[in-house]
Amino acid sequence: MNYIGIDPSITSTGMVVNGHTFNYSYEKNGLTKKGNLSKWFLISEHITKYRFHNQATYSNYKDEQINKLNLYNNVSKIISDDIVNTIDPLKPVKVFIEGYSYGSSQGNLIDLVSFGSLLRQKILTITNDITIVSPNTLKLETCKMVYKPIEKVTGRKRDKIKYIYKNDIGIPGGSFTKKEMAKAISDSHWDDNWADHIREIRPEFSSTIPKPQEDINDSYLLYKLSQKK
């Protein structure tokens, strides 16, 4: 089986295909003014393939709509091509892709839906085995994959068991932030390039997880979830 996890984003899409990591970002986010990789992109360069693109430019409403669609179509085509060039064509393909966060501003959400729709359409030319995972579900499932459940006896006769999912410092899985997601990867028993890499660089993280690691982390966890399911 080919396993794929994708965290789609306008500014920085993360993808993991059979353990191979990819990132699709705006040039301004990943490159310095001299054209070199910026700090966090450089740190993960040895295990990540970067595909950079320019942000859509426009001076009026008509140009905005067309230029954005052209950009989203081109980026989604590059992602689709990378999938085709990385998978084993003789094996079935399973894709887990993160759904939309409805807490986003209206403008960002509309753009994300436009990009996501084009991306999903192209993935459907590769496989119909696509699972859309909500951000909250990914948080909880990450906790379940890494940490042991806590048993709590309930019921009037104390004859029922309820399972509670928290990490080792007591944070519920449903309340995980990007920081807890990175910690889960570091705390896991997964033995692969990305998990080892996060363990190595995690002490350098401050209170926030930088890009592209933030997006690749989510796509990596979707990839691990696709294997579990």
186-207 mean pLDDT: 95
pLDDT for 108 equals 84
Report, as an integer, the average pLDDT of 34-51.
97
User: Looking at the whole model, is its pTM more than 0.85?
Assistant: yes
From 15-24, 45-54, 104-113, the region with the lowest mean pLDDT: 104-113
Spatial separation of the C-alpha atoms in residues 68 and 55, rounded to whole Å? 8
Mean pLDDT in residue range 150-160: 82
Q: Are 23 and 14 in contact (CB under 8 A)?
A: yes
Burial (0-12, 13-18, 19+ Cβ within 10 Å), 156: exposed
Q: Which residue has the higher pLDDT, 204 or 229?
A: 204
Q: What is the dihedral of CA 56, 58, 62, 67, to 10 degrees?
A: -20
pLDDT-wise least confident of 100-109, 188-197, 216-225: 100-109
Averaged pLDDT of the chain: 94
Average of pLDDT values for 145-164? 87
Select the highest-mean-pLDDT range: 16-30, 102-116, 196-210.
16-30
CB 218 within 8 A of CB 138: yes
Higher pLDDT pick, 46 / 102: 46
Structure letter (DSSP) for residue 99:
-
Specify the DSSP element, H or E, that contains 50: strand 48-53
